[in-house]
Amino acid sequence: MVRGISFKNTYNAPGSVTSRNDIKPALAAFVDGDKAVFHQCGFYGLQDTLWDGPGRHRYTECYIEGVIDVISGTGQSIYEKCVINIPINVYAPILGHGYITAQGKEASSHTNGFVFIECSVIGSGTVYLGRAYRRFSTVIYHKSFLSSCVNPVGWHPWTQVGHEMDFTYVESGCTGPGADISKRVPWIKNLNKYDLRRFIDISFIDQDGWTRKLPQF
């Protein structure tokens, strides 16, 4: 359980890169293990800022900044009231667009995925809400604010072209100029309220009450 700590990787800091080839994955934090909670923490980087690896994780009121695959990995995680900032223009003209998530669910029987509840996506340039790191990539944005930096098509298949119907990419009750789904890719999912509840309820990461046993903020 972590509160009030910022994690920063300055490897790709503005001014230190002069071409796209200069940029390398440089993690600010690597979360690997079950039952982790981060509250009011900051994560700063450019590529793979937060590696959200195996396990059940909860992030509340955190600030997460980066441009390429900002939140990546195979975690089974809920992000609540977090701010996600994608400052693409800081790296212009080297970078023209960014990706918030690169979620890596590998099989339909797996239960992992990234769920964003009442979060805010801000930034500059053009950003995709996510791209498919693995075949069954799963990402949900629920009641979140999406600014104008969000690309109208929303999502990218990356190396999983041909498996788009296996993705679970969902936008539910979102607001803001980037929340218009009229030009989204045709393979976003529209879940009924029962299927949606499986993701947005705390039971998605906590079926045995472990979060209730932690100190309260």
Q: Dump pLDDT digits (tens) for 98-116.
A: 999 999 999 999 999 999 9
- Using 50, 70 and 90 to split pLDDT, how confident is the model at 214? confident
Arithmetic mean of pLDDT, 140-148: 98
- Using 50, 70 and 90 to split pLDDT, how confident is the model at 70? very high
- Three-class SS of residue 212? helix
Number of domains observed in the structure of the chain: 1
Domain-embedded: residue 52: yes
Instruction: Note the pLDDT of residue 97.
Output: 94
Arithmetic mean of pLDDT, 125-142: 97
Helices (DSSP H) in the chain: which residue ranges?
193-200
**Catalytic residue list contains 195:** no
Arithmetic mean of pLDDT, 179-203: 97
Selecting among 69, 195, 201, 206, the annotated active-site residue is 69
Domain-embedded: residue 104: yes
**Catalytic residue list contains 201:** no
Domain-embedded: residue 215: no
- Using 50, 70 and 90 to split pLDDT, how confident is the model at 217? low
Selecting among 48, 52, 206, 208, the annotated active-site residue is 48
Instruction: Note the pLDDT of residue 88.
Output: 94
Domain-embedded: residue 186: yes
Domain-embedded: residue 25: no
Candidates 8, 17, 7; CA nearest to 91 is 17
- Three-class SS of residue 63? strand
Q: What is the mean pLDDT of the chain?
A: 96
CATH code at position 97? 2.160.20.10
Domain-embedded: residue 49: yes
**Domain containing residue 43:** 2-12+36-206
Domain-embedded: residue 122: yes
Arithmetic mean of pLDDT, 42-49: 98
Output the six-digit token pair for 54: 């195996």
